[in-house]
Amino acid sequence: MDKTINQKAWFLVLPVFLVVAFSAILPLMTVVNYSMQDTFGNNQFFWNGVGWFKELLDPSTDLGGRFLDSLGRNLFFSIVILAIEVPLGIVVALSMPREGWTVAACLVILALPLLIPWNVVGTIWQIFGRPDIGLLGYTLNGLGINYNYVSNEFDAWATVIVMDVWHWTSLVALLCYAGLKSIPDAYYQAAQIDGASRWAVFTAIQLPKMNRVLLIAVLLRFMDSFMIYTEPFVVTGGGPGNSTTFVSIELVKIALGQFDLGKAAALSLVYNLIILIVCWVFYTVMTNAGAERPAKQGVA
Amino acid sequence: MARIDLVDLAHSYGGNDAAPESFALKPISMTWRQGGAYALLGPSGCGKTTLLNLISGIVTPSRGKILFDRADITPLSTQKRNIAQVFQFPVIYDTMTVGQNLAFPLRNRGVPKAEVNARVKQIADLLDLTPHLNRKATRLTADAKQKISLGRGLVRSDVAAVLFDEPLTVIDPELKWQLRSKLKALHRDLDLTMIYVTHDQTEALTFADTVVVMHDGRVVQSGTPAELFDKPEHTFVGYFIGSPGMNIVPAEVRGREARISGHPIVLNRSYDVLPSGAKIEVGVRPEFVDVAPPAPGLLSANIERIDDLGRVRFARVRIGDAKFAARVPPGFSIPGDTAGLVFDPSHVHVYADSRLVEGTA
């Protein structure tokens, strides 16, 4: 078959290309440029090659130590909140009503935390947790529990994790609820006829049918928690000490606090690369899981 | 295996207090023989799926009772009724293999492993699923999936009846025949009561010994395919079954004579007592009316078009305002726009208010 060759299409792509070039490619290239150089201000740059990257991956240097510590903290944080939010989101979705006016009420209540801006969430919890005037902090101390997120590492971590769970479990729950709603009634009726227990219905029908949305939920929550900045910055400011300093907080400190553009650029490139790789792995897993299904489906 | 009795069974989705006319299923009483193959036939919304779901226990009836072998099972849950049901769309447990799918109902009931394996093997053989036993069920074709849904019902040795809710909807036409013959064969081998819901008359007539025709929440006739064809008890059965459906035209009936648009037709039986004030109609299947050249003794009709169905031709004609279909005898060529109609008196039925009137010999 002869295809009509028409180069005019390039002109149609051109505006998008220009927008992307100015908004993404040029800034990214600037960062790549910075990451290879050092500056002492005055817009004077000195070539440093891969020096910053070497330092970044070497725990014995100051930069490497700070990066790898915060990376470890960040991974731990992501794993903890995934381990809490995903099961909790599923439970919430399963216990939501299926029809009637209560559905709308539940959806609105669940959506509320998602609609609050990050720094407002941070401020809410910062005040909520204060031992002198915050409802949570005051009550806990009143109950004899010595709670102070400013001075105690464990308390700071607990506050940040509970805050993230409060903020984002709704997202997992809403995604799961959408997955659950798409299961036709016939499945439940068949399971009833097959004498399936509640647990068997969950493992044989609901969980497999939620498979795809769960993968999306995990991906979104991982990326978001891995890039978390605003809420812990507002609540704990990364403290006490460095105990809740996550990668993005460290990055801002280096870039804007110390004005070490080269170090910060190298860090943000590696940080970006980690997120890209994780996304790619997830994407591959997701498309493979999907491709298995319609492989040999004649009619459906 | 069981005989199923419905006693004054009725259902309304609006609850028991709803107006009787709005009931999805109006009160019915009937018996389903043990080992019978039944088809529930009717247009969409006639209540056939409601009836099926009442028997399987997915829906609890507003009124009446359901008996399995004379035991009242109305309050029992679906699980305890020993019913197998095949749904319109195949229901498959995604993560399981074909074998695990078949074993699922038995494992849920705590049947010993050796027995489960033996039953699964037996049923897989019966349904020609043995080569697929270790494959993921989601990778099979729609007809194989429907067989798995059916198999999950059959593995249980205590199954009282198998219910089918339009099971061939998503199956390719050429596979429909195969699957339907498979169902017939299973019915012969297993001596199970089977109830098959469909709106497709071919499916119903080829599958069932007894076809139950439903219309507007009521059972209008239940009988063998031949009975439904030869002697429809309700005008609805007449035109719903058969292709083209039965001709039903208003007429005046007196004794052994019916007058259609003033023209007399001879009847085989005598109709002396007809309910007064009722709407009287005459029904005759197109297969029993022949088109002939116009003649003074024949009812004349205007020919609108000829449908050639290959094996047989039907003329679509008009008598006054009434539409009518009649067979065109082989080799007969239509002389013009008008034709005479020749009736076979033994197949002309009389209906009063849509219900069949039995004449006297």
The per-residue DSSP string of A121-171 comes to HHHHHHHHT-TTT-HHHHHHHHTT----TTT-HHHHHHHHHHHHHHHHHHH
Q: What is the pLDDT, as a whole number, of residue A299? A: 38
pTM (2 d.p.):
0.76
Contacts of A192 in chain B (CB under 8 A): 58, 77-79
Return d(Cα B164, Cα B200) in angstroms, integer: 13
Asked whether this chain's domains B4-240 and B247-357 adopt the same fold, the reply is no
pLDDT tens per residue across span B24-64: 888 888 888 888 889 998 888 888 888 888 888 888 888 88
What residue of A is the nearest CA neighbor of B153? A194
Say yes or no to pLDDT of A294 above 50.
no
Say yes or no to pLDDT of A296 above 50.
no
Q: What is the CATH number of domain B247-357?
A: 2.40.50.140
Per the structure block, which two tokens stand in for A170? 């709704």
Three-state DSSP state, B256:
strand
Q: What is the pLDDT, as a whole number, of residue B1? A: 58
- Mean model confidence pLDDT for chain A: 86
pLDDT tens per residue across span B83-92: 888 888 888 8
Residues A43-67 have a mean pLDDT of: 83
Delimit the domains of chain B by residue range: 4-240, 247-357
- Mean model confidence pLDDT for chain B: 86
pLDDT tens per residue across span A104-138: 999 999 999 999 998 899 999 989 988 888 898 88
Structural contact between residues B99 and B132, judged by C-beta atoms closer than 8 angstroms: no
Contacts of A300 in chain B (CB under 8 A): 142, 170
Structural contact between residues B263 and B299, judged by C-beta atoms closer than 8 angstroms: yes
Contacts of B93 in chain A (CB under 8 A): 204-205, 208
**Vertex B149, ends B146 and B153: CA angle to 5°?**
140
How many residues comprise chain A?
300
Identify the band that residue B275 occupies on the pLDDT scale cut at 50, 70 and 90.
Answer: confident
Structural contact between residues B207 and B163, judged by C-beta atoms closer than 8 angstroms: no
Largest CA distance in chain A: 82
pLDDT tens per residue across span A62-104: 888 888 889 999 999 999 999 999 999 999 999 998 888 899 9
Say yes or no to pLDDT of A295 above 50.
no
Q: Using the beta-carbon criterion (under 8 Å), do A190 and B149 form an inter-chain contact?
A: yes
Q: What is the pLDDT, as a whole number, of residue A1? A: 57
Three-state DSSP state, B136:
strand
State the CATH architecture for A61-267.
Orthogonal Bundle (1.10)
Q: What is the pLDDT, as a whole number, of residue A254? A: 85
Q: What is the pLDDT, as a whole number, of residue A291? A: 53
Q: What is the pLDDT, as a whole number, of residue B207? A: 85
Contacts of A295 in chain B (CB under 8 A): 139
Delimit the domains of chain A by residue range: 61-267
Identify the band that residue A16 occupies on the pLDDT scale cut at 50, 70 and 90.
Answer: very high
Q: Using the beta-carbon criterion (under 8 Å), do B77 and A184 form an inter-chain contact?
A: no
Answer whether A290 touches B (CB < 8 Å).
Answer: no
Which residues are within 8 A (CB) of B66 and not within 5 positions of it... i.e. 6 or more apart? B4, B5, B6, B7, B9, B54, B55, B72, B73, B74
Residues B351-359 have a mean pLDDT of: 87
Say yes or no to pLDDT of B11 above 90.
no
Give which of B254, B258, B232, B256 is closest to B319, Cα–Cα. Answer: B258
Regarding predicted confidence, which is higher, A210 or B334?
A: A210
What residue of B is the nearest CA neighbor of A191? B105
Handedness of CA A221, A223, A227, A230 (dihedral sign): negative
Q: What is the pLDDT, as a whole number, of residue A300? A: 35
Per the structure block, which two tokens stand in for B220? 């209008």
pLDDT tens per residue across span A245-263: 888 888 888 888 888 888 8
Q: Using the beta-carbon criterion (under 8 Å), do A189 and B87 form an inter-chain contact?
A: yes
Q: Mutate one of B49, B54, B77, B93 to test the A interface: name it (highest A CB count within 10 A).
A: B93
Identify the band that residue A40 occupies on the pLDDT scale cut at 50, 70 and 90.
Answer: confident
At residue B247, φ and ψ (nearest 5 deg) are -80, 130
**Vertex A238, ends A235 and A244: CA angle to 5°?**
100
Return d(Cα A75, Cα A38) in angstroms, integer: 29
State the CATH architecture for B4-240.
3-Layer(aba) Sandwich (3.40)
Answer whether B137 touches A (CB < 8 Å).
Answer: no
Q: In terms of DSSP H, where are the helices of chain B?
A: 48-56, 98-108, 113-126, 142-154, 173-190, 201-207, 225-230, 235-240
Answer whether A33 touches B (CB < 8 Å).
Answer: no
Return d(Cα A152, Cα A129) in angstroms, integer: 12
Bridge partners of B271, per DSSP, are: B255
What residue of B is the nearest CA neighbor of A198? B108
Say yes or no to pLDDT of A185 above 90.
no
